[in-house]
């Protein structure tokens, strides 16, 4: 399939589990439903942090339900995390430590969805906005705050 038939949505957010998972699931489910309706003839890639927990895991599980392509985009460090990696369809490893992949991730995606998240999620969102500053950001970036229960 040619690249003009593929839209790559980056999903960033909490990668630990101490957050309102129900709210994150509902938000992403609504967003993915709209994506499917808006682009019925395109292939959709859901690109996230490759981890099997937090917002990335929710995004991947929903992507599987919607028939979207799952892409794990992370640093080498992801392969050594206890929670493991999600069984995605495509893997992109960039750099050694978490954060090393951020610039390449932002260059790879066409749009960005942020569900809460810490420093790296917010840095990647800022990088994406900077990269696409001349375009209508309200159509390219969706940001949502949800409750964090951790310390």
In the chain, the number of structural domains is 1
113, part of any domain: yes
> What integer pLDDT is reported at residue 24 of this predicted model?
95
> What integer pLDDT is reported at residue 3 of this predicted model?
53
82, part of any domain: yes
151, part of any domain: no
> What integer pLDDT is reported at residue 140 of this predicted model?
92
pLDDT tens-digit map of 73-93: 999 988 887 778 999 999 999
Q: Which residue has the tokens 């949800």?
A: 146
> What integer pLDDT is reported at residue 17 of this predicted model?
83
What CATH code is carried by the domain that includes residue 61?
3.40.50.450
29, part of any domain: yes
Domain that holds residue 91: 3-144
91, part of any domain: yes
Instruction: Report the distance separating Cα 85 and Cα 6, nearest Å.
Output: 24
149, part of any domain: no
> What integer pLDDT is reported at residue 83 of this predicted model?
74
Q: 65 Cβ partners below 8 Å, 6+ apart?
A: none
What residues in the chain have per-residue pLDDT under 50? 1-2
| DSSP summary character for residue 147 | -
Angle in degrees, 0-180, between the axes of helices 54-66 and 21-38, rounded to the nearest 10 = 40
105, part of any domain: yes
Q: How many CB atoms lie within 10 A of CB 58?
A: 24
> What integer pLDDT is reported at residue 87 of this predicted model?
95
> What integer pLDDT is reported at residue 107 of this predicted model?
96
- Classify residue 127 as left (phi > 0), alpha (psi -120 to 50) or beta: alpha
């Amino acid at each position: 399939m040619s690249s003009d038939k593929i839209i790559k949505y980056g999903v960033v957010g909490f990668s630990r589990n101490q957050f309102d998972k129900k709210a994150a699931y509902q938000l992403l489910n609504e967003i993915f439903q709209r994506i499917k309706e808006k682009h019925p003839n395109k292939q959709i890639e859901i690109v996230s942090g490759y981890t099997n927990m937090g917002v990335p895991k929710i995004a991947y599980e929903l992507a599987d339900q919607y028939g979207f392509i799952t892409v794990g985009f992370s640093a080498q460090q992801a392969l050594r995390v206890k929670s493991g990696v999600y069984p995605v369809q495509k893997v992109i490893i960039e750099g050694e430590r978490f954060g090393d992949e951020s610039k390449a991730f932002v260059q790879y995606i066409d749009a960005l969805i942020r569900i809460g998240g810490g420093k790296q999620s917010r840095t990647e969102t800022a990088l994406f906005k900077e990269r696409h500053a001349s375009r209508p950001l309200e159509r390219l970036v969706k940001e949502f705050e949800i409750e964090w229960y951790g310390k």
